[in-house]
Amino acid sequence: MNSVVAKLDSAAEAIPARMRSATATFVVFAGTIFLSAFLLFQIQPLVSKFILPWFGGTPAVWTGAMLFFQLVLFGGYFYAHLLSKWCTIHQRLTVHLSVLALAAANVAWGRLIPPESLRPQGEAGEIPLIQLLLLLTVTVGIPYFSLSATGPLLQRWLHDSLPGVSPYRLFALSNLGSLLALLSYPFFFEVQWGVVAQASIWSVGYVLFVVICACCAIRTWQLSKPATRVANEQAASVDKSIPIPEKITPAVASLRDKAIWLGLPTLASVMFLATTNEVCQNVASVPLMWVIPLSLYLVTFIIAFDHPRWYPRQIVAWSTLVLLAFVIYYDTTLETVDQVANSLLGSTADDSIELGGLWWLQASIYFLTMFAIALMCHGELARARPAPQYLTSYYLMMSFGGALGGLLVNLAAPFLFNTFFEFPLALMTAALVAIVLIWAGSSTSKLRWPAVGGAVALGATSIVGLLLDSAPSTSTHNKTVHVSRSFYGIVEVMHRAIGDVDENYTFYSGTIQHGKQLAEPTRRAIPLTYYGAGSGCEVAIKFAQARSEQCRIGVIGLGVGTIATYARSTDSIRLYEINPKVIDIAQDQRWFHFLSDCRCKPELVLGDARLQLERELKAGGSQKFDLLVVDAFSGDSIPTHLLTREAFDVYQQHLAPGGLLVVHITNTHLDLFPVVSKLADQAGFGYRRIYQQGDLDRLLYRNYYMLLSKDETFLAQTRDQIDDLPDYLRHPRNIPLWTDDYTNLTALLR
């Protein structure tokens, strides 16, 4: 009897010990997955930023890098699926530890930062996508691949170690790590350190990850014995701090389940990317605007996969339909609200409410709609998850859907559509999905038909509104005469003020005007917008021309070629432009004639200006510009590699003795003066600032220039013209010198 009691006491004491062991195991696995996700989202902006000056053209570099990371992520998930399907537990552990060791050696060797020998040279760099993909593969391919595979593999290892534990909540935790990395990079890491220092910190974090992951592998090896698995399963079932499996779909997935695993993440990915493009191009050109939608996108994963109670299907589906209608009829709704509010308050024209003019309100509605759609997709995706032993195939399909969405938006859509038509297509698809969910979620037949009828009516109204909104404008006063799209965004030409004295053609890149020309032949030589009489551009050109009968002018950023109107027959002008669509528009004489009417023959150079200038130095020496205008910063996508110490070194070498460097720093959201003033001081330039308030009656816009020179005569004869400059722009903030290693747009936000 005493021996039986002793055995019972011993068993009772063993249960808490096993509980503690199971809890510790879960915590270690959770921490490893969190760290891997954090590193995964840190390396993307870090490496992309480093190679930016090598390839030029911010949109193309980021698009190509994102394509690489999505494809490697899918490759990592595919590798995890193969290991889980075809290998034993011990084989999985051995193979993945070998991959981790290889990746750690790659990082320790210092290949995270690409050597100068891998920098594109000559003609090959003019087609950057293949070079970019190969460069990323050589430098971060293996570490990123190993990190990509870690999430699904560790969840499978956890299931092998603790069969009674649900691994799916670890997916929510991994997205929390991704979210923290996303938010910390632009607001902390980028501010505190240069790219090389960031790479060193990341490398230390990666080595730490490999060590902890190896510990997880060893622990899995220990716990994979049948007797140990049973004991830990019992302990996990007792320990309430460890998540237990919720209700999931059958172990063998049906074709319907697989369609859900692929289709829903594709829709969510398209919606996220399309909304980002739509807001940045057509609502507000605010730097770092991509951070908000990507953060919300990750939050939907966290909510959906943490626990089913956070995803109320009917509420989310109905909210999606209501928000869809609000987005589609946004202008009409806000106009009505403004009229009613102003009528009730008795507001006059001077103090009237104009909610429709608040860009942040419109952006918020767009992002909230994207959030609802992504939550709907990811919530249904979480409901359709399989038994843990099939989770790698589940994640494989999910990652393929995300990558497919990226391919559709970044590669297919620019070739299929002239506008961001994938945005209304995604909205219409989301409306149909919401209607199906409302049908499926109605508890009784009595409620089903009224609910579905209302949902169909709301969805149909939204779809009709989308189709009408996508139709060409019928206005007789302003017409869109051209729209085209490329990796660099949407460019548009509008025929404006038709029939008026100021009838003109206006060129847009996104929402930003980049040039305008009067239609009347006798007046079309008049420079408008940012380049008119009294602008810093005109002041600099007139000074250079007064000093030389044969002035050599260089321009970075073509627009519609307005600056060419200042060139005399004895001058020469060389214009650099990265976007071939812009060159096509500027040369199309149906709309613009600045280039065709130029009194000298303009030289047009296609490609990233800094790369072209560097190649010209190597090939034939300096261009010896009397005047070099850097005019590439008025949009939302600031090419920071044109505003670094290394870039200014290149500009200096291309200037003739006493030449002028003119930097156009007009920008709605950024104060670029601190950057340029630091660079000027470092390079030994003096500078003058010229700010014009603008005159809309003369089609002249607010413009702000910095004129840099080492010529004492110019500095003595030219004074600052900043009487109308807002106070917050008068004095430079104290920021570090920008280099290829360190830039920080966040510090420049107004």
Predicted confidence (pLDDT) per residue in 412-421, tens digit = 888 888 777 8
* pLDDT at 637 > cutoff 80: no
- The DSSP element (H or E) to which 257 belongs, if any, is helix 255-282
Whole-angstrom Cα distance, residue 288 to residue 86?
A: 43
Confidence of residue 659 (pLDDT cuts 50, 70, 90): very high
3-state SS assignment for residue 637: coil
Q: Taking 50 as the threshold, does the pLDDT of residue 124 lie above it?
A: no
Q: What's the rounded mean pLDDT across residues 148-153?
A: 86
Question: How would CATH label the architecture of 534-748?
Answer: 3-Layer(aba) Sandwich (3.40)
List, edge to edge, every strand of the sheet that includes 504-509. Answer: 479-486, 489-496, 504-509, 512-518
Q: Is the pLDDT of residue 154 over 60?
A: yes
Residue showing tokens 């603008």? 694
The more confidently predicted of residues 522 and 236 is 522
Residue 561 is predicted with a pLDDT of: 94
Instruction: Tell me the pLDDT of the chain averaged across its residues.
Output: 81
The string of DSSP codes covering 447-516 is: HHHHHHHHHHHHHHHHHHHHHHHHSPP--SSSEEEEEEEETTEEEEEEEESTTSTT-EEEEEETTEEEEE
For 526, the token pair is: 């008049």
Residue 5 has pLDDT above 60, yes or no: no
Residues contacting 426, CB < 8 A, separation 6+: 267, 270, 271, 274, 373
Mean pLDDT on 399-426: 84
Cα–Cα distance for residue pair 80/77, rounded to 1 Å: 5
Is the pLDDT at 7 greater than 60, yes or no?
no
pLDDT in tens, 339-362: 666 666 655 544 555 565 566 777
Q: For position 335, what pLDDT does the model report?
A: 67
pLDDT band (50, 70, 90) for residue 120 = low
Phi (first) and psi of residue 657, to 5 degrees: -55, 130
Residue 242 has pLDDT above 70, yes or no: no
Cβ within 8 Å of residue 744, ≥6 positions away: 190, 191, 735, 736, 738
Domain 17-245, CATH among 1.20.1250, 1.10.260, 1.10.10, 3.40.1360: 1.20.1250
Instruction: Give the full edge-to-edge strand order of the sheet including 552-556.
Output: 603-606, 572-577, 552-556, 625-630, 655-664, 703-709, 686-692
pLDDT-derived band at 731, boundaries 50, 70, 90:
confident
Scan for tokens 């920021």, then name that residue.
735
Average pLDDT over residues 39-56: 80
What is the model's pLDDT at position 59? Answer: 57
Q: Which residues are within 8 A (CB) of 724 and not within 5 positions of it... i.e. 6 or more apart? A: 691, 692, 693
Helix (H) or strand (E) holding 517: strand 512-518
Q: Which residue has the higher pLDDT, 680 or 54?
A: 680
Q: Are the CB atoms for 586 and 594 separated by under 8 Å?
A: yes
Dihedral in degrees, nearest 10, Cα atoms 714, 717, 722, 727 = 80
Distance separating alpha carbons of residues 150 and 16, to the nearest angstrom = 30
DSSP 39-103: HHHHHHHHHHHHHHHHH--HHHHHHHHHHHHHHHHHHHHHHHHHHHHHS-HHHHHHHHHHHHHHH
pLDDT of residue 598: 94
With DSSP H G I counted as helix, E B as strand and the rest as coil, what are the percentages for the chain, rounded to 5? 65, 10, 25
- Confidence at residue 113, expressed as pLDDT on a 0 to 100 scale: 75
| Distance, CA of 538 to CA of 157 (rounded, Å) | 68
Q: Is the pLDDT of residue 171 over 70?
A: yes
Please give the share of the chain, as a percent, with pLDDT higher than 90: 30
Residues above pLDDT 70, as percent of the chain: 79
Q: Output the six-digit token pair for 686.
A: 């003096």
* Residue pair 28/216 in contact by the 8 Å Cβ criterion: yes
> What region does 475 belong to: left with phi over 0, alpha with psi -120 to 50, or beta?
beta
Q: Tell me, what's the pLDDT at 512?
A: 80
Determine the distance from the C-alpha atom of residue 323 to the mean position of all C-alpha atoms in its chain, rounded to a whole number: 23
pLDDT in tens, 252-273: 667 888 889 999 999 999 999 8
At residue 11, the pLDDT reads: 43
Average pLDDT over residues 710-732: 86
- Please report the pLDDT score of residue 440 as a whole number: 77
Distance of alpha carbon 707 from alpha carbon 720, whole angstroms: 10
- The crossing angle, in degrees rounded to 10, of helices 2-55 and 195-223 is 150
pLDDT of residue 376 exceeding 90, the answer is yes
Coil, helix or strand at residue 268: helix
11-20, 713-722, 725-734, 740-749: the lowest-pLDDT one: 11-20
CB 536 within 8 A of CB 703: yes
State the virtual CA torsion across 158, 159, 165, 166 in degrees, nearest 10. 100
Cα 241 from chain centre: 38
DSSP annotation string for 621-633: ----EEEEEE---
pTM of the entire structure? 0.80
pLDDT tens for residues 184-204? 888 888 888 888 888 889 999
For 150-178, letters b (16+ CB in 10 Å) and e give: bbbbbbbbbbbbbbbbbbbbbbbbbbbbb
Give the pLDDT of residue 457.
Answer: 67
Give mean pLDDT, residues 474-490.
79
What is the rounded distance in angstroms from the CA atom of residue 140 to the CA atom of residue 117?
16
pLDDT in tens, 431-468: 888 888 887 766 555 555 566 666 666 666 666 665 65
For the stretch 286-342, pLDDT in tens is 556 777 888 899 899 989 888 788 888 888 988 888 888 888 777 666 666 666 666
Q: Which amino acid, 9?
A: D
Running DSSP on this structure, what letter comes out for residue 230? H
